Amino acid sequence: MRTWIAVAAGMLGAFMAILDIQITNSSLKDILGTLSATQEEGSWISTAYLCAEIVVIPMTALLARVFGMRMYMMGTTALFLVFSTLCGTAWNLESMIVFRMLQGFTGGALIPMAMTLVMAKLPPSRRSVGMAIFGLTATLAPAMGPTLGGYLSELYGWPSIFYINWVPGLLLIGGIWWGLDRDRGNLGLLAKADWLGIVMMAMGLGCLTIFLEEGNSKDWFDSSFIITFAALSLVGLVGWVTTSLTRADPFVNLRLYGQRNFIVATILSAVIGMGLYGSSFLLPLYLGQIAGYTPMQIGEVIMWAGLPQLFIMPFAAALSSKVDNRILCSIGLTLFGISCLMNSHMDATTGYDQLFWSQVVRALGQPFIMLTLSSFAMHKVAPADMSSASSLFNMTRNLGGSIGIAMLATTLTNREHFHSAIIGQSVTAMSAPVQQRLDQLTQAFTASGIDPATAANQALAVIDRLVRREAYVMAYNDGFVIMAVFLFACVGALLFADNVKAPSGPGAGAH
């Protein structure tokens, strides 16, 4: 019972940390209004969190050994709650960015620690259940983030999206305090740590995240800012890999990428990150921009990508010990890809009713993916490398999410320009239907008391908005097609993985 309480508390922490990546998205307009910031400046609120989170994830294996797993989880959660509260009381954009960064640095550790608890504390016969719960947190949180954020912002104001963390946070601290035995830390490890590798990793991953998150808004390599961060990320990542491979005791074991199952699982994890965070980026954006939905209405649509997972995950966990996990993962990837294709036929009138079934199909597929990928990643991993494997697996998923959002944001911009140009070839002043529509609009504006010259300009503006709206809808559809292609391609990549039938014990074979 104590072990399960500790594992449940760890899952709560992972859910809370992943949720906080997305929870500000639906409330961003309100936050920016309060802090007197522009949309472009506001992007740093999410970037700061992601940047700090991805830097701390690879360090968790070292920090857990330094402070002891029990003390580290309780301490980092307590700090996470303090910084969450400070986010809710931020007085300007700069303070919000600093507090979000500190929140990400303390919360990011909770994600790999939850997976490590499953592998280190549960017996092999129960790990499939533990991995099922972990998979649920990883897929449910991105789906529920906009939903919860929308509801809380509308009912209690945007600071409540940060204050709500106290509920799961205190439960987590209590669960870990009661569920885990006291373990001794080893502060001496800090003196012997691979600090050059840590600095290189922090520079590489931090700069890469900034490059991906800010690239589209700054026109990528047309910006000296983006070129600088691209170069720094390359230097940092190469330095990290070099120091890790030349040291006998690196802070995280990058040699795990040499194991076939682990590299396949992490590549697929990156693509799933693209799908999870990409769909949670595209759909709320579409519903807000095209359909004009409020944050609460957006949340009511998105929640259907999450709720059915609660019922599917136990079924997926039971099957995972009986069926080749490659088959289960292929089913999940196919369903996720189909849901993206279902979303690729949207028009300007698409709303809750038309999007309901695509969200349900996505929810049916995701549990099969996350559960089986965790099994592939941990298959034949030695006990000493469990923390490293957990850190690298979760880091790759978050990195995939950043890459996916950057790719989709750029696609959205480029394809909107492309479709606008194509539609513009037909919608010209020389076209009889266009001229007729302009005349109708001009007459309507004139009849409402507007002078003829202004009425004609307003009629042109209406036509321009219609063209841009339709171009954006087509661009959103293109984004979903791209995600579907990546997900279907992953089915082929599964051929390179071993036949795994359940999460195996560390160092054990498939059974």
Q: What is the CATH number of the domain that holds 504?
A: 1.20.1250.20
**Tokens, residue 68:** 């002891």
Handedness of CA 52, 109, 59, 267 (dihedral sign): negative
Of 30-39, 141-150, 312-321, 398-407, give the lowest mean pLDDT range: 141-150
| Contact predicate 50/387, CB 8 Å | no
506 has a pLDDT exceeding 90: no
| 473 vs 193 pLDDT, higher one | 473
Q: Give rounded-to-5 percent helix, strand, coil for the chain.
A: 85, 0, 15
pLDDT at 277: 79
Are 211 and 357 within one domain? no
Mean pLDDT within 188-194: 81
Question: Phi, psi at residue 430, to the nearest 5°?
Answer: -80, -15
Cβ neighbourhood burial of 39 (10 Å; 0-12, 13-18, 19+): exposed
Which among 149, 171, 189 is the end of a domain?
189
**Tokens, residue 492:** 């082929």
Are 377 and 437 within one domain? yes
- Could you tell me the pLDDT band of residue 212, with boundaries at 50, 70 and 90? confident
Which among 217, 233, 250 is the end of a domain?
250
Highest mean pLDDT among 162-166, 183-187, 229-233, 349-353: 229-233
| Number of structural domains in the chain | 3
41 has a pLDDT exceeding 80: no
Radius of gyration of the chain (CA): 24
Are 69 and 127 within one domain? yes
Are 128 and 198 within one domain? no
| 360 vs 455 pLDDT, higher one | 360
147 has a pLDDT exceeding 80: no
Q: How far apart are CA 123 and CA 287, in angstroms?
A: 45
pLDDT at 505: 41
| 97 vs 249 pLDDT, higher one | 97
| Contact predicate 108/54, CB 8 Å | yes
**Tokens, residue 427:** 């919608």
Are 160 and 242 within one domain? no
| 234 vs 210 pLDDT, higher one | 234
Are 351 and 389 within one domain? yes
Which among 203, 235, 250 is the end of a domain?
250
Cβ within 8 Å of residue 228, ≥6 positions away: none
- Could you tell me the pLDDT band of residue 429, with boundaries at 50, 70 and 90? low
pLDDT at 504: 42
Handedness of CA 121, 122, 128, 134 (dihedral sign): negative
Are 18 and 151 within one domain? yes
Are 347 and 443 within one domain? yes
| Contact predicate 249/194, CB 8 Å | yes
pLDDT at 502: 54
Of 130-144, 205-219, 298-312, give the lowest mean pLDDT range: 130-144
43-84 pLDDT, tens per residue? 778 778 888 888 888 888 888 888 888 898 899 999 999 999
pLDDT at 195: 86
Are 346 and 474 within one domain? yes
34 has a pLDDT exceeding 90: no
484 has a pLDDT exceeding 90: yes
Q: How far apart are CA 494 and CA 85, in angstroms?
A: 43
511 has a pLDDT exceeding 60: no
Are 94 and 170 within one domain? yes
Mean pLDDT within 257-279: 84
pLDDT at 503: 44
Q: Supply the mean pLDDT for the chain.
A: 83
29 has a pLDDT exceeding 70: yes
Mean pLDDT within 228-254: 89
Cβ within 8 Å of residue 287, ≥6 positions away: 293, 297, 298, 301, 351
The percentage of the chain sitting over the pLDDT mark of 70, rounded to a whole number, equals 95
- DSSP letters of 369-420? HHHHHHHHHHTT--GGGHHHHHHHHHHHHHHHHHHHHHHHHHHHHHHHHHHH
pLDDT at 510: 38
pLDDT at 309: 81
Residue 210 belongs to domain spanning: 194-250
**Beta-carbon-side half-sphere exposure of residue 63 (alpha carbons within 13 Å):** 21
Are 257 and 172 within one domain? no
Core vs surface per residue 425-445: b (16+ CB within 10 A) or e: eebeeeeeeeeebbeebbeeb
Are 160 and 270 within one domain? no
Cβ neighbourhood burial of 365 (10 Å; 0-12, 13-18, 19+): buried
